[in-house]
A and B are shown apart, each in its own frame.
Chain A
Amino acid sequence: MKKRTLALLLSASMVVGLLAGCGPKDPDPSQNPNPPVGDQETQKPENNPPVENLTAVQKIIKEAEGMTWEELAAKAIEESNGKTFYGVGNSSRGKSALPLFIDALKAIDPSYDMTFEWQQPKNNKIFDQLTADGLKDTGTFAMTLIQDGNQIESKMVQTGVLDTFIPKAWADANGTTADAVTGYLPLQTLNKVFMYNNQGSKTYTNCWDFVAEGEHGLFMDIDSEIVGKNFLYMLTREDYATWLKDAFEALPADKQSQFQGTIDAMASDASDLGLGANGKYALAWIKLWVESYAAQTDDGPICNTLVAKSAADQFGLLVYSKLRSVEESAEVSKNNINVAAYDDGYQGIGGYGYCHYLFVTDNSPLPWTACAFIYYMTCTADGFSAWGKDMGGYSSNPNVAAETEETYHHSIGGMSEDGTTVEFECKNDRGYDWWTGEGKLVLEDPEYCASVAFTVGSWIEMLTKYAG
């Protein structure tokens, strides 16, 4: 009570001192935030607002959504020839895709030229950067490639900082239309999967093994990469919680008894948080995971650790594509690890899938060019090649995904040159369909994440990881 009084007094004195000069605030347009947008199968709330209510960039997007590549490219050439294009994204590979895009436009008009700058902020700064840029009449950034559906929803879309553009060819390939598509435009789905070092005696045959007593998985700190937190939020959705329940029931009785107490203890919390019938399994798994994982700064160090011979019996949850960059040596080999979900008889979730989404900024200085670039990345294999050349990233366009597989053969990426001998089992990427089916990949749903961010989210923050 004393603390509350102190806080109120402190706040009051600061308010008086500071806000006196702030002037009257604008009428609050925000009392009632927009409800979260739906996932890709449902209608986006502002899908078809009257044209007169659209911003200038939204009007361009509307027009661009009906255009072919050639039409859009012509607009982009007209708009950005001789100019500089600024993009910002969570993936550094936007920088590799832009020169290919410029070449594609040059193929149409050889006199075309555009310089570019691609920024990749870390530690969640992309949201601050876009928010700050969004305050200007004309922004610096033309578009963004961004992850973390939860924050995108609450900080970028509801606030009108970013707009979604659905390329015609992408909609066609997915058997839909731009108007019917809701939610955001994903460039690709990335997967973080459970991998373990096989140089020791341990095996992990069930996702509950990763949270057993004495286990400490290597995982990027959920406070520095928020999509990790989204993974935990998603586990509480009833369908994924049921996966956890099924996996639990597949455990032998002695192992079940290790977890039963924790699961039972979570029942009331699950009820308080409004979770479904199997929510207690999700909360128990989350609690055990959060209180045991060894936080790392990035997936890179996790991969470096796991592939070393000396890392016997260690495991982690990390981006699958990190395996692409391991060089064989006396100490290090890709054969020192197993992808848990690839093991025969493995039960339960195999990992977590999240998307890189593409947006045009609502104050984009080059909206036509931004739309054309997004079109190029999502509708052509060349445009996607910056990501597609490596395993573990799956284009959201089925045509591009098929062409990428045809070009790069990721499904047999671990075979030796003769094509029959398995050289690196872990590098034979089984593809998006396998991962989201048999591989039991937990997929991010921005709407669900946003809805539980301050309920399940606050519950997670109360766990002992945060106590010290």
Chain B
Amino acid sequence: MNDRAGPNRSAIFLNKLKTYFSQPYNVILLLFGVVVTVTTIAPIVAIMKDTFSIHPGTIDQHLTGMTSGYTTVNYIDLFTGQMAKANLWTPLWNTVLLAVGTCVVAILFGGLVAFLVTRTNMAWRKYISSIFIFPYIMPQWTLAVVWQNLFNSNAVTHTSNGLLASLFGINMPSWWCQGLFPSLMVLGLHYAPFAYILIGGIFRNMDANLEEAATILDTPRWKIAFRVTLPMVKPAILSTILLVFGSAMGSYPVPHYLGLTTLSTKYVSMNSNRTGEASILAIIMMIFGVAIMLLNQMSLKSRKSYTTVTGKSGQISKVNLGKVGKYIVALALVVVTFFTSIFPIVSFAFETFLPNPGDYSFLYTGDPKNLTTKWWTTDENVSENGMYGQKGILHNEAIWKAFRGTMLVSIACSLIAGTIGTLIGYAVSKNRRGRWANYVYNMAFLPYLMPSIAVGAAFFILFSNEHINLFNTYTLLIITGVIKYIPFASRTSLNSMLQLSGEIEEAAIIQNVPWIKRMTRIIIPIQKSSIISGFMLPFMTCLRELSLFLLLCTQGFILSTTLDYFDEMGLYAFSSGINLILIVTILVFNTLVNKLTGASLDEGIGG
């Protein structure tokens, strides 16, 4: 009797389960929730374990007298040893300053240009808009090399004279040439396109009525800027900080080239004799990533919305810079972007025709004998003509093998990260208030906020053991790249899916249209542009990524490590040639995608 009257709990549970899994987005959330949890947590656990392991031939062996086992000596020595200041506190302080400074430069510069392009009548806006994104396309340390080539001097940096010193005899001070200032400027310029696109997007789409209303109420301009415009741009600024802070923190090549000791550079230099302590540095960088994510969560909770309470104007006004002013401002930006975007490319191209690296004899002799095509055309493995046994770029198997490797990794990362990210974005948008959905989204986003060098270190440790040894394999690079770049796609996908009314899909559901068809025939075509950006960004970022892959493969494996190798070796003709190859590749792909789909890169940076 009781059996018939009482609820059948297992049947209810099964029914609930069936209902739950009948929704594709729940399946996606469960599946990828597990995947991103494992792929994010496992490397962290591996690197934490490494901080307690004893490494033969390093300080922990010296201090413990053991060659294997576990110890806390790495923590004690790093935090309290006599090297604590040099190995931890100073690099940590420098890293924070670098990350904060980079955010400030990127937001100020990118935001200003975004404002000028979208909200003023400045001349040549289209040109400036396109050229402004170039520093992000190029590997970040190429700007550092350009900075050195411009400002270094025998008198101050004790190296050969840069352009300013050799042409005008100007010796820039040491703080300008090396250390924090040039590092944050270079990284700030590199990441300014993030701010430009995010803030520009808001400027372009923001409801001008709010400002108009304030104007009607006779509010002073400064007050409008601080009380109306800035609060509206605040989410974009926060997004920029979110994206740039972790990236700047984890940048290895820029501080390395410009002589700033950060946690990243210290990680690499300590890894040989203080391996366990280096892993603690990686953990500290990761903690910053988590902290940034938590701050972002807090800011999301406190986001305000605004509405007008007075008379509205339908017109969108642009600030008038004046007849002359609009050209002067544009000219200033053209000059600045020349040095950040055009000059590097011209100097890369020129460098590939110099007889010796940095040998600018041609400039003052005008003698074409002081130019050469050997860096491109030499087809023999010879060392006598100053090529260090390398073949010319066109015939250099190592470079083209690395190019193929880079394309493989980039395309694979783009397709896999793009697909997973898009699905996660879709699933989260369908279940926005669900805790699990938020967890999956945040867990997927976490690797992006963690500094690249730390993520690379964690994956290196995770996959270098007696069971799985993936060092120097494309598999490892693809796995790491995918985990790191899923947020590009999940973010763009979520943002675009949230703009899509649920009724559209519901209508299809009523018509019994299967999920796959709903996705491929309705949702993806509508949000094509954003989704493609979610695929393009991992591709482009992967193409010139170094910090993430530095510890995972040898040079010559992919193009960025090859480029870094030639740069370090001082064979600037090769590194410049590779830079040109990268830039051309990105531009070709961007144009191709733009022509085929109408989507373009700058529509989706950072979501």
- Given A301-B357, A332-B356, A461-B83, does the pair A158, B68 have CB atoms closer than 8 Å? no
Interface size on A, as a range, is 35 or more
Residues in A with CB closer than 8 Å to B384 are 324
Contact at B466–A135, with CB atoms within 8 Å?
A: yes
Interface pair B359/A125, CB less than 8 Å apart = no
Chain A binder among B69-77, B128-136, B421-429: B69-77
Smallest CB gap from A123: residue in B: B268
Write the chain A residue with the least CB distance to B465. Answer: A135
Residue in B49, B58, B554 whose CB lies within 8 Å of A129:
B554
- Say yes or no: A329 contacts B70, CB within 8 Å: no
Residue of B nearest to A131 (CB): B464
> With a CB–CB cut-off of 8 A, which chain A residues contact B372?
327
Q: By the criterion CB–CB under 8 Å, are A305 and B160 in contact?
A: yes
Q: Known interface pairs A14-B48, A31-B66, A129-B472. Does A308 touch B358 (Cβ–Cβ under 8 Å)?
A: yes
Q: Is the interface of B mostly helix, strand, loop or mixed?
A: loop
With an 8 A cutoff between CB atoms, is B220 at the interface? no
State whether the Cβ of B239 lies closer than 8 Å to any Cβ in chain A: no
A297 to B159, CA, bound (A): 12
Is the beta-carbon distance between A330 and B370 smaller than 8 angstroms?
yes
Contact A6 B556 (CB under 8 A): no
A193 to B46: give the CA distance in the assembly, Å.
43
A158 touches B67 (CB 8 A): yes
**How close is B126's CB to chain A, nearest CB, in angstroms?**
39
Q: Are A132 and B471 CB-contacts (below 8 A) given A96-B389, A120-B555, A224-B269?
A: yes
Contacts of A119 in B (CB 8 A): 472, 554, 556
Is B358's CB under 8 angstroms from A132's CB? no
Query: Are A28 and B69 in contact (CB-based, < 8 A)?
Result: yes
A466 touches B361 (CB 8 A): no
Known contacts A7-B76, A12-B72, A453-B273, A297 near B567 by CB under 8 Å:
yes
Q: Does B45 contact A (CB under 8 A)?
A: yes
- A332 pairs with B361, CB closer than 8 A: yes
Assembled-state Cα–Cα distance A131/B53 (Å):
14
B570 within 8 A of A: yes
Q: Contacts A226-B272, A327-B386, A461-B83 known; A332 to B67 CB distance under 8 Å? A: no
* B57 interfacial contact with A, CB 8 Å: yes
CB of A437 within 8 A of chain B? no
Contact call B80/A308, Cβ cutoff below 8 A: no
Q: How far is the CB of A232 from chain B (nearest CB, A)?
A: 14
Let me know if A6 and B79 touch, CB within 8 A: yes
Does A331 sit at the interface, judged by CB under 8 A?
Answer: yes
Q: Determine whether A151 belongs to the interface, using a CB cutoff of 8 Å to chain B.
A: yes
Enumerate chain B residues within 8 angstroms of A431, measured Cβ to Cβ.
none
B66 touching A30, Cβ below 8 Å? yes
With both chains docked as a complex, state the minimum distance between the C-beta of B154 and any C-beta of chain A, in angstroms: 7
A142 within 8 Å of B by Cβ?
no
Question: What 0/1 pattern do residues 1 to 21 of A give for CB contact below 8 A with B?
Answer: 001101110111011001100
Residue B594 is within 8 A (CB to CB) of chain A in the complex: no
Contact among B68, B154, B554 for A311, CB-based, below 8 A: B154
**In the complex, chain A residues whose CB is within 8 Å of the CB of B388:** 300, 325
Instruction: Tell whether, in the assembled complex, residue B67 and residue A30 are in contact, meaning their CB atoms are under 8 Å apart.
Output: yes
Per the bound structure, the CA–CA distance linking A466 and B158 in Å amounts to 19
Q: Does B493 contact A (CB under 8 A)?
A: no
Measured between beta carbons, the chain B residues less than 8 angstroms from A88 are: 554
A198–B66 CA distance with the chains assembled, in angstroms: 51
> Within residues 251 to 287 of chain B, which ones have a CB less than 8 A from any CB in chain A?
256-257, 259, 261, 268-269, 271-273
Residues from chain A with a CB closer than 8 A to the CB of B555 are 120-122
Residues from chain A with a CB closer than 8 A to the CB of B370 are: 329-331
Q: In whole Å, how far is A13's beta carbon from the nearest beta carbon of chain B? A: 11
Query: Given A28-B69, A297-B257, A327-B385, A467 and B472 touching (CB < 8 A)?
Result: no
User: Contact mask A316-337 → B, CB, 8 Å, 1/0?
Assistant: 0000000011110111100000
**A345 on the interface (CB 8 Å rule)?**
no
Measured CA separation A294–B166 after assembly (Å): 19
- Once the chains bind, are B569 and A326 in contact (CB under 8 Å)? no
Q: What are the residues of chain B within 8 A of A389 when measuring CB–CB? A: 383
- B76 to A14, Cβ gap below 8 A? no
B446 to chain A, nearest CB (A): 18
B540 at interface by CB-CB < 8 Å: no
Contact status of A307 and B75, CB under 8 A, knowing A14-B51, A31-B65, A154-B61? no
Which residue of chain A is the closest to B567 with respect to CB atoms?
A297
Chain A residues within an 8 Å CB radius of B166: 310
Q: Is the CB of A127 within 8 A of B272?
A: yes
Does B221 lie at the interface of the complex (its beta carbon under 8 Å from any beta carbon of A)? no
Chain A residues positioned under 8 Å from B59 (CB to CB) = 454
Bitwise interface map of B from 374 to 385 toward A, beta carbon under 8 Å scored 1, else 0:
000000010111
The answer to whether A330 touches B554, judged by C-beta atoms less than 8 angstroms apart, is no
Given the complex, which residues of B lie within 8 Å of A466, measured CB to CB? 83, 86-87
Asked whether A154 lies within 8 Å of B356 as measured between CB atoms, the reply is: no
Give the chain A neighbours of B261 by CB distance below 8 A. Answer: 468
Task: State A127–B472 Cα separation when bound (angstroms).
Answer: 14
Contacts of A136 in B (CB 8 A): 466, 469
- The interface residues of chain A lying within 8 Å CB-to-CB of B76 are 4, 7-8, 11
Closest 10 CB pairs of A and B: A154-B57, A300-B570, A301-B570, A30-B67, A7-B79, A132-B464, A327-B386, A223-B269, A216-B158, A155-B57
A8-B72, A8-B76, A326-B356 known; 19 new pairs, CB 8 Å cut-off, are: A4-B79, A15-B72, A18-B49, A25-B69, A30-B66, A93-B389, A120-B554, A125-B551, A133-B471, A151-B272, A159-B67, A303-B570, A305-B160, A308-B356, A308-B359, A329-B355, A329-B370, A458-B82, A467-B85
The contact sample of 28 A-B pairs, CB cut-off 8 A, is A3-B79, A3-B84, A4-B79, A14-B52, A15-B52, A15-B70, A30-B66, A30-B69, A32-B65, A92-B389, A96-B381, A123-B550, A133-B469, A135-B466, A151-B272, A297-B568, A300-B357, A300-B571, A301-B357, A302-B570, A304-B357, A310-B166, A324-B384, A329-B356, A329-B361, A454-B273, A461-B83, A467-B85
